[in-house]
Chains A and B, each alone.
Chain A
Amino acid sequence: KWAVMCLLLRSGFHLMVVLLELPEMHQMMRQTCRDYADRELGPIAGKLDKEHLFPAQQVRELGAMGVMAVEVPEALGGAGMDYLAYSLAVEEISRGCGSTGCVVSVNNSLYIGPILKFGTQKQKEQWITPFTTGEKVGCFALSEPGNGSDAGAASTLARQEGEEWVLNGTKAWITNSWDASATVIFATTDKSLKHKGISAFLVPMPHPGLSLGKKEDKLGIRATSTANLILEDCRIPLGNMLGSRGSGFKIAMQTLDSGRIGIASQALGIAQAALDCAADYAHKRTAFGAPIGKLQAVQFKLADMAVAVESARLLTWKAAMLKDAKKPFTKEAAMAKLAASEAATFCGHQSIQVLGGMGYVTDMPAERHYRDARITEIYEGTSEIQRLVIAGQLLKEYAS
């Protein structure tokens, strides 16, 4: 049974109505994504990881299903569904392949997200519609070699020259970089205004003045490309600014708020896959004369894993539903991302432990889940940043 919590706020008094099942449409959507992940992603995930292959064909197929642009209105080429549906989709896809789930999440939340929210109609048509089909994916360039968590210190600069913006600087750790056809990129337009002097820009890829650094050799999500974006007098039309001048930091923070739900969902998928692997093994592997699932030591691990995943899942759904209800969701999204990413690393770790030696070799997917899980505690806001966000929100609530 899937519990959905519907939060009704009435003059500072919280009412929680617990429904027994996800709405039918969401169940169907979840099932179609699960079927796709089981049949098309599960069988190739190991190969994609081993050979660092971008799942181009799968991304196209997911695009045809509407998964690459879940929240985008149909008029712009998307599926026109809500964020809860998006969360379910990312979780199911990630369960099949953590890397593919990452590509889906980055395209939906980090690239399309800000353009959908802050773009003009013309920008939406130009920069979103071609990215709904899976033919093209986008990326999000905020981090720099000199600042990750310290996002307000953007040293990439943008100066106006006539009818153009000229960008200079380096962005680091950009997911999808080698496979993307466009980026939402953040640069300082007014250094004296500090974080209020950062603006967001849309840059096509490839583009003169924009080059890519070497592909990073990562621990996990190896089917995605991660590299530096190097801007050397990269010229773009004035119309390529996203949102108003100086609103870049706000755009980034709001985008990451939603993006956190996407990453939480990715982490849930990886955690669930790790749990599935361990539980299945516990049934089949015998030791001391019986399946190891009979041993309390193993049972306790499985129980702890299940609680970690399910509680993170409910936090994630709550955050998604708050967003869909247009209520504040910053705290809940941070809680979801924190809980889900720590659940993923926990489940990845325990899954290997349940499998013993088999968990350490590539014959079983446990080691890949362990490696894929690790990034979820780092990108789109480290666990430490999430804690600061949560504490900040909490203290605000108690201050009044």
Chain B
Amino acid sequence: YIVTIRVKPDHSGVVTDGVKHSMNPFCEIAVEEAVKLKEKKFIKEVVAVSCGPTQVTETIRTALAMGCDRGIHVEVSGKDYEAMGPLQIAKIFAALAKKEEASLVILGKQAIDDDCNQTGQMTAALLDWPQGTFASEVTIDGEKVKVVREIDGGLETIKISMPAVLTADLRLNTPRYATLPNIMKAKKKKIANMKPADLGVDMVSRVEVLRVDEPPTRLAGVKVETVDDLVAKLKANGTI
């Protein structure tokens, strides 16, 4: 994921044209968990969903090659895509979860481009479903899910009823590499196409990005001899 990110000259965002896009790593972990649950026979079918322009189908195919059964591509492009944020995506996911009668919605805890960490939580709220976020361990027990969550203070274990929303954290699992035979099989799996309007979702954003800037260049540091000097300098520049 080492890419040189450049801010657009008009400061409206970052340059995404010509930048190789791939599945968000936390979502890879989510896909892996879903496929594992299917392999353990806790769930019957895994549907991979992605919202965005045409290129997004490549990512869905990768999910199919990892073991998902079918895909849904919700087409969002142009200005709608640029303005699309967690709330719009959450609305789409909520609508699809109801339509597909899903028992679980599993996603990455956050996307590594915007680091929002909101979509999972919003989806659960819109559905009025319980949520198990930052999951580092998921165990299905009948109609309930035991989730071990990574939180600032350590690990928290909760038990929630299905249907539920889970978001995957780093240590939940190690995603498999798509095997060549599975890539072959993925070719035959179906990807359905739809638009947000088909799900009754309005894509208007309530958030307007005013400006995007690069972080300030890091300045050289100053070396001090003693702890007292350090405290004095920190006091002098108003840090403490």
Contacts and interface: CB of A to CB of B under 8 A. Distances in A.
B181 interface: yes
Most chain A CB neighbours (cut-off 10 Å) among B58, B181, B183, B184? B183
Interface string A9-49: 00000000000000011011101100110000000000000
B149 interface: no
A267 interface: no
Interface in B174-229: 177-181, 183-184, 186-187
A74 interface: yes
A66 B180 contact: yes
Interface in A88-106: 89
A152 interface: no
B187 A80 contact: no
A112 interface: no
A65 interface: yes
Nearest to A23: B187
B62 interface: yes
B183 A74 contact: no
Given A24-B61, A32-B65, A81 B177 contact: no
A41 to B, nearest CB: 12
Given A24-B58, A24-B61, A32 B183 contact: yes
A64 interface: yes
B148 to A, nearest CB: 26
Interface string A199-227: 00000000000000000000000000000
Contact of B61 (A28, A67, A74): A28
Interface of B: 22, 58, 61-62, 65, 177-181, 183-184, 186-187
Contact of B181 (A24, A27, A74): A74
Given A35-B177, A81-B184, 13 more contacts: A25-B184, A25-B187, A28-B62, A28-B178, A29-B180, A32-B65, A32-B178, A32-B180, A66-B181, A67-B180, A70-B180, A80-B181, A80-B184
A66 B178 CA distance: 10
Contacts of B187: 24-25
Given A24-B187, A25-B184, A80-B184, A65 B179 contact: yes
A28 B186 contact: yes
Contacts of B181: 66, 74, 79-80
Most chain B CB neighbours (cut-off 10 Å) among A32, A66, A67, A85? A32
Contacts of A25: 183-184, 186-187
Contacts of B184: 25, 79-81
A66 B179 contact: yes
A84 to B, nearest CB: 13
B207 to A, nearest CB: 33
Nearest to A64: B179
Going nearest first, the 7 A-B pairs with the smallest beta carbon separation are A66-B180, A79-B180, A32-B178, A65-B179, A28-B183, A66-B179, A36-B177
A65 B180 contact: yes
A67 B227 CA distance: 58
B164 to A, nearest CB: 30
A124 B234 CA distance: 75
Nearest to B22: A31
Nearest to B61: A28
A66 B176 CA distance: 13
Contacts of B178: 28, 32, 65
Contacts of A85: 180
Interface string A376-397: 0000000000000000000000
Contacts of A24: 58, 61, 187
Interface string A56-75: 00000100111100100010
Most chain B CB neighbours (cut-off 10 Å) among A27, A36, A61, A66? A66
B182 to A, nearest CB: 8
A8 B141 CA distance: 59
Nearest to A38: B2
Most chain A CB neighbours (cut-off 10 Å) among B58, B62, B177, B186? B177
A14 B86 CA distance: 54
Nearest to A67: B180
Nearest to A69: B180
A67 B179 CA distance: 8
A36 B177 CA distance: 7
Contacts of B58: 24, 27-28
Contacts of A64: 179
Contacts of B186: 25, 28
Contacts of B183: 25, 28-29, 32
A36 B176 CA distance: 10
B177 A65 contact: yes
A362 to B, nearest CB: 22
Contacts of B62: 28, 31
Contacts of A36: 177
15 contacts: A25-B186, A28-B58, A28-B178, A31-B22, A31-B62, A32-B177, A32-B179, A32-B183, A61-B177, A64-B179, A66-B181, A79-B179, A79-B184, A80-B180, A85-B180
